[in-house]
Amino acid sequence: MNPVSLIPSLQSDALVREIEQQLKDEQGAIAGGAKRDAHAVLAQARAAARAQVHEAIAELREEGARRLIRAKAQLDTQMRARAQRQAAKAVGDAMPLLQEALEQRWRDRDSRRQWTDAVASLCARRLRPGAWVVEHPKDWSAQEQKQFIKAIGDGAKLSFKAAGDVDCGLRIRSDQAALDATPRGLLADTAAIAALLLDEIGGGAK
């Protein structure tokens, strides 16, 4: 074959190889770009997934904390309500015992004398001098009445009256005021008595 005639053939072969090489290069570039894009998309997806997971975990923690706070508040409320019920029951159980203890003290002569002396001292501080009516149990003796007059001292004119509703203790009336030192009067301030009882119960429990 004439060498001159081979030139076009060689040129076409070279062109083909060049085109093929360009195609390979372009394919490589496309594949590399696609790979890089895929890696970028995957990285973004992973980052988004991690962010979503972190956000979900944070929300769960916040919800858990809120639930814990609500549960603790509910438990505290229940415990307070229970403590209040127990306190009310303790006071309710103690009041009759306290009434009985006061009656027992009145029945003891020495304790009754301490009681009436304390009442006399209180009257001297609380009631204005004048005519006082001392309401007492029917079995309070004349001798004890004299002792009470002596304990009161000067400044009041006393008269004594056996009262049907007074089984123990004394109730003193003046023109402007009254001092009820019967168990009913001593226990009339139920809130204060309840506080004292609960303080005593709490102190005994320590």
Higher pLDDT, 205 or 118: 118
Res 2 pLDDT > 70: no
Q: Whole-model pTM?
A: 0.58
Whether 156 contacts 125, CB under 8 Å: no
Higher pLDDT, 61 or 135: 135
Mean of pLDDT values over 117-126: 90
The per-residue DSSP string of 50-87 comes to HHHHHHHHHHHHHHHHHHHHHHHHHHHHHHHHHHHHHH
* Alpha-carbon gap, residue 136 to 139, rounded angstroms: 8
* Alpha-carbon gap, residue 200 to 196, rounded angstroms: 6
pLDDT of residue 13: 72
N-to-C CA span, the chain: 123
Look up tokens 């004299």; give the residue.
146
Of the candidates 98, 17, 47, the one whose C-alpha atom is nearest the C-alpha of residue 9 is 17
Whether 123 contacts 152, CB under 8 Å: yes
Starting at the earlier edge strand, list the strands of the sheet with 130-136.
156-162, 130-136, 170-173, 178-181
**What confidence tens digit (pLDDT) does each residue in 29-72 have?**
776 777 777 777 777 878 877 888 888 888 888 888 888 898 88
Which one of 12-26, 108-122, 191-205 scores highest in mean pLDDT? 108-122
* Alpha-carbon gap, residue 17 to 116, rounded angstroms: 132
